[in-house]
A and B are shown apart, each in its own frame.
Chain A
């Protein structure tokens, strides 16, 4: 029961983007991908989500090869939050959230989804946004709405418990500190309920402070991956980012609750 990638390689326009990558996203685990710009982090996420087909290797979800899962069926087992384009029409925030509603063909689905949506709105602190037009929101607020939508996409009726996954590309960009912490809490809660989580992060402090595992990517290759503690090496990071890096244990610690 994992997302499992085996020897993935990807070339775009003659350039090697990903080179022989093998990795797993396990249930209940938070895996963060870090690495310098152009390392291939987003491409890796797109291959895992099925948006881009890798040239070699294969991706499987819960032991089923990705190609043999239909486009529709994939929507139930993984949701993705990535960088977004602007939206041409004046959808309300609620409309955007409802785009995450999948049809589960059971009788009280509308009530169940509405109830779950209200909980998510509260959890993400969005009560004041819900009736606004999406296009009038700030960049950070728009990201929070999209995050809430990806949570809604993973909703399951009480009688089903399929293993699902949440893939996040830079979820915290543009967020203020309070909402960053709130989103982190949501992600942690999602992980402890069994969802497997993969994140692309640029902030190394964030990545190390709340992921179970780290994958360090550079030039399309995995430099090292493993438990967060084992990955905490200044030499390793210096090799990836080609700059001097030092690690201190939190000299100043500002906490937000």
Chain B
């Protein structure tokens, strides 16, 4: 070959497959995410004013509430929403199946089991090492990776016939992990472990900066790695042989999506527990708004997931003050009927 060109799906400086509408939509989602964040920081059981904070007119207690409690919580809810949203979108693309969701197929449950095991068995090691804060997210990531890899091999590389199989495996894994987490939370006296409700329904409360920072890094990295694979996910929809013929290294694509999804879901579950149906609903809403191509759906789902989760957490905090609703209760209340509707709709096709 005289002229060897490098086909790049990523740094296409002259070709882009995002329409002007989609860019506008993503900007709108970004703006609403920022707006909701400000709302979520301001409102709560303890009223705060961001303007006063910026002008330095707030008391020490108010400052502490804002920077040590409210802000980490809002960031965590946004991150969890973004990671579940984008992972749901990427997994749906990878499985070529609109029913895939990190929760439904057992990835979140694997992560929760990994995290609880680490907390119970790990004992005091977190405080002994400087990188100890990474241990719980890493254990969660190991759990979620294990589940995705198991799905991968049981469906022979996400082959086309694996659709129902995958959901059945998900049911089994969810049940197994549920038992594991249940036993661990009841036998352990460890105060770190938190309650069963936390792991099965999720919560953004009680997060601190030292725990949050590794999770921010992991999720940000996963998203940055994932987004350039958007175009290849589009081509994969034609089928694996076709994607290969269009220049996609299908194996590499699969492993990258598996690992990045496992990492971002694992990291978010480690701090916020299992929050159901976000990964299912968010990509669908994103597609309904602006189209199905992954160059838009992946970043769009991250932004939409973050925005929705921030506002959902605000609602969970203020609706039955001074108590709090588990966040998973809200997402499941909306998500489960939506799931039924989706099954109904797919069956009609």
A-to-B contact residues, CB < 8 Å: 46, 49-51, 62, 64, 69, 71-76, 78-80, 82, 84-85, 87-91, 95-96, 98-110, 113, 135, 153, 160, 162
Contact = CB atoms under 8 A, between A and B. Distances in A.
Interface stretch (B73-81, B206-214, B240-248): B240-248
B244 A51 contact: yes
14 contacts: A49-B245, A71-B248, A72-B7, A75-B247, A76-B247, A84-B239, A84-B242, A88-B92, A91-B237, A91-B293, A100-B246, A103-B9, A110-B14, A113-B15
B238 A84 contact: yes
B246 A153 contact: yes
Contacts of B235: 99
**Chain B interface main SS type:** loop
A46 B287 CA distance: 34
Given A73-B4, A87-B237, 13 more contacts: A50-B244, A51-B241, A71-B244, A72-B7, A73-B5, A75-B7, A78-B245, A88-B92, A89-B287, A90-B292, A102-B247, A103-B12, A109-B15
A113 B16 CA distance: 12
B62 to A, nearest CB: 48
Contacts of B239: 84-85
Contacts of B4: 73
B249 A71 contact: yes
A94 B38 CA distance: 40
Contact of B1 (A49, A69, A85, A98): A69
Contacts of B53: none
Contacts of A91: 234, 237, 292-293
A137 to B, nearest CB: 14
A106 B14 CA distance: 7
**Chain A interface main SS type:** loop
A103 B7 contact: yes
A39 B288 CA distance: 45
Contact of A88 (B16, B97, B242): B97
Interface in B278-330: 287, 291-293
B130 interface: no
B13 interface: yes
Among B1, B97, B239, which residue has the most Cβ atoms of chain A within 10 A? B1
B6 A72 contact: yes
Interface residues of B, number: 37
Given A95-B292, A153-B246, A76 B98 contact: no
Nearest to A88: B96
B297 to A, nearest CB: 9
Contacts of B59: none
A80 B237 contact: no
Contacts of B96: 87-88
A103 B15 contact: yes
Nearest to A51: B241
A103 B14 CA distance: 8
Given A89-B98, A91-B292, A109-B15, A104 B244 contact: no
Interface string B332-349: 000000000000000001
Given A62-B1, A73-B1, A85-B160, A105 B14 contact: yes
B189 interface: no
B14 A160 contact: no
Contacts of A153: 246
Nearest to B14: A109
Interface string B91-103: 0100011100000
B3 interface: yes
B3 A89 contact: no
Nearest to B10: A103
Contacts of B246: 75, 99-100, 102, 153
A71 B247 contact: yes
A110 B92 CA distance: 29
B191 interface: no
A89 B293 CA distance: 9
B8 interface: yes
Contacts of A102: 7, 246-247
Interface string B131-172: 000000000000000000000000000001000000000000
Contacts of A104: 5
